[in-house]
Structure 1
Amino acid sequence: MLSSLHHPNVVSFYGIVRDGPDGSLATVTEFMVNGSLKQFLHKKDRTIDRRKRLIIAMDAAFGMEYLHGKNIVHFDLKCENLLVNMRDPQRPVCKIGDLGLSKVKQHTLVSGGVRGTLPWMAPELLSGKSNMVSEKIDVYSFGIVMWELLTGDEPYADMHCASIIGGIVNNSLRPQIPTWCDPEWKSLMESSWASDPVDRPSFSEISKKLRTMAASVNVK
């Protein structure tokens, strides 16, 4: 599956090699000079300007739009799995990485189970009501990623796992949005992490919205 994916915003997969004396297998993928977006944010005092934030969000949305077009659900979308090249100050590049938990969707649903990383997991993954979920779980995660991009922080960093799970499942817990967040970013972020998957936009809709936002600040 991985070798058949070709998109400028999805990390290229080159093959599998034996790694170390125990002969364990390791994947060989495209190298991104600045590592993960999480690493970059922490090195840069957790701040990134609005223009670069929009570019990175667009790149991630384009990559996810492509994966969903191939019926692939990522299941673990977060800043740690977004890889970046920030060498060009005018045009950073972001690519979707770590497809290790991804699954191919059959028809409209995919088997879920508890997979992913807790703060980014959609309510329907944690509720236990159904083992079948839609690709909209990735959209929920993207909403949390937008918050990470905005603040540079890790969501719910000072909370216990049980409290996080309860809050997400009961739809009473979402990251606190800073008062200085621009309205368009806030609106897209909140719609992406909506409690009902039906209310979340598709990545095609997200990409379109981000393009409109980017045009207002002359991002190409």
Structure 2
Amino acid sequence: MGMDLRTFLKQNYNKLMWKERIEIARYIIQAIYRIHNEDAIHRDLHSGNILYLGINQRFFISDLGFCGPVDKPLNSVYGNLPYIAPEVITGKKTTFASDIYSIGMLMWEISSGQPPFVNYEYNYDLAMKIVNGMRPKIVPGTPLEYKKLMEQCWDADSTKRPDAYTLGNEMKKLLLYFNNNQNESSEQIISNQHQQLNNYYSSNSIDSISKNYTSKTYQFENFPEPKNATEGSSNITLKHFITLKNMLTLVSFYLNKNTNRRTRRIWKLEINSNYNIQNNDYEKETVQQTKKHHLDINDDDDVYDNPSHSEKQDDSKISTGKIF
């Protein structure tokens, strides 16, 4: 019996070990590679159009070429918001790289058993958060290499995302590693998380879950350029640090200055009690010069790897009525 990935994960997540999760991700990546190899872009990848066929236990991508309603407004975006690449949200064209972003979100869904941003309303606020770098929280126990590939896929800079061929090869290596080095204790850690995720599902209504299947038209304006969350958060932290450092330096300077003034007043009184007032040289105060404080800060924020990425042109043909 066939079902989509969302339904499959809801019914079978407790039974899946990491080897099987990686296998599911690899099936999807192989399918998107075949689509891209035909110079086509899917444009609307999400767990509702990834189909599982129980006969051969394989996953396939459906709805290829479905680009939205005929009456879609100009400069609007059609899709399932959590899976739409940030550059597409801001008005840029869909590309092979925007499909890869959607793959990254699917990889997270496979790792967690739940749709991305399921507890958010699909509106302008969520779109702005995505453009500003918000991504789903990594599930504890996620293999490091899987995590790295997933983060590369959803990088805000589309040129840093791997192409489908590279991604498929890396996923194949990861699967081979798990086949040869299966660790029962690490898999037990995963099973211990299943009950927590089940509790999460039970606290969400059916309407909350079902909304993740639906693609619709969005129209956003005046969005900034996409960025990774670490870029913004690092800069804010840096500004706060510099401001605090400068404030402490200023307070320290004035405290020292006032202390020196009090000391000099006492010293002058002692001098005046022993000498004539005509010795004015002792009464001159020297002006203390403040030293400029320099802060040596490394501004490099290279959070993601930069894989070699050769992206084809945006103008790609659309094949319709196929399942890959």
Q: Does the TM-score normalized on the shorter chain lie above 0.5?
A: yes
Q: Counterpart of 1:118?
A: 81
**1:81 corresponds to 2:42:** no
Q: 1:34 to 1:153 in 2, by over 3 A?
A: same
Q: Counterpart of 1:43?
A: 11
**1:167 corresponds to 2:167:** no
- CA shift for structure 1 position 87: 5.6
Query: Counterpart of 1:71 in structure 2: which amino acid?
Result: D
Cα RMSD, aligned residues only: 2.2
Tell me how far apart the structure 2 counterparts of residues 47 and 72 of structure 1 sit (CA, whole Å). Answer: 35
**1:196 corresponds to 2:157:** yes
Tell me how far apart the structure 1 counterparts of residues 58 and 163 of structure 2 sit (CA, whole Å). Answer: 22
- CA shift for structure 1 position 47: 5.6
More helix by share: 2
The correspondence of residues 44-193 of structure 1 with structure 2, limited to 5 A, is 44-45=12-13, 48-86=16-54, 92-101=57-66, 113-128=76-91, 130=92, 132-160=93-121, 161-171=123-133, 173-193=134-154
Summarize deviations over 1:166-194 as a string: whole Å, max 9, x none.
Answer: 111122x1011112111011000000000
Question: SS in structure 2 opposite 1:83?
Answer: strand
TM-score normalised by structure 2 residue count:
0.50
* 8 Å CA contact 2:109, 2:115 repeated in 1: yes
- CA shift for structure 1 position 44: 2.3
Question: SS in structure 1 opposite 2:52?
Answer: strand
Tell me how far apart the structure 2 counterparts of residues 36 and 214 of structure 1 sit (CA, whole Å). Answer: 23
Tell me how far apart the structure 1 counterparts of residues 13 and 26 of structure 2 sit (CA, whole Å). Answer: 22
Tell me how far apart the structure 1 counterparts of residues 75 and 177 of structure 2 sit (CA, whole Å). Answer: 38
Size of the alignment, in residue pairs?
Answer: 174
Tell me how far apart the structure 1 counterparts of residues 89 and 132 of structure 2 sit (CA, whole Å). Answer: 10
* 8 Å CA contact 1:73, 1:102 repeated in 2: no
- CA shift for structure 1 position 112: 8.1
Tell me how far apart the structure 2 counterparts of residues 83 and 159 of structure 1 sit (CA, whole Å). Answer: 25
Structure with the larger RCO, 1 or 2 (CA within 8 Å, 6+ apart): 2
Tell me how far apart the structure 2 counterparts of residues 134 and 218 of structure 1 sit (CA, whole Å). Answer: 33
* 8 Å CA contact 1:123, 1:168 repeated in 2: yes
- CA shift for structure 1 position 99: 1.4
Question: SS in structure 1 opposite 2:51?
Answer: strand
More strand by share: 1
**1:215 corresponds to 2:176:** yes
- CA shift for structure 1 position 114: 0.5
Q: Structure 2: which 5+ runs fail to align?
A: 69-73, 181-324
Query: Counterpart of 2:160 in structure 1: which amino acid?
Result: D
Using the TM superposition, name which of 42-51 and 113-122 deviates more.
Answer: 42-51
* 8 Å CA contact 2:53, 2:59 repeated in 1: yes
Q: 1:45 to 1:94 in 2, by over 3 A?
A: closer
Q: Counterpart of 2:193?
A: none
Query: Counterpart of 1:176 in structure 2: which amino acid?
Result: K
Tell me how far apart the structure 1 counterparts of residues 95 and 13 of structure 2 sit (CA, whole Å). Answer: 36
Percent identity at matched positions?
28
Q: 1:94 to 1:119 in 2, by over 3 A?
A: same
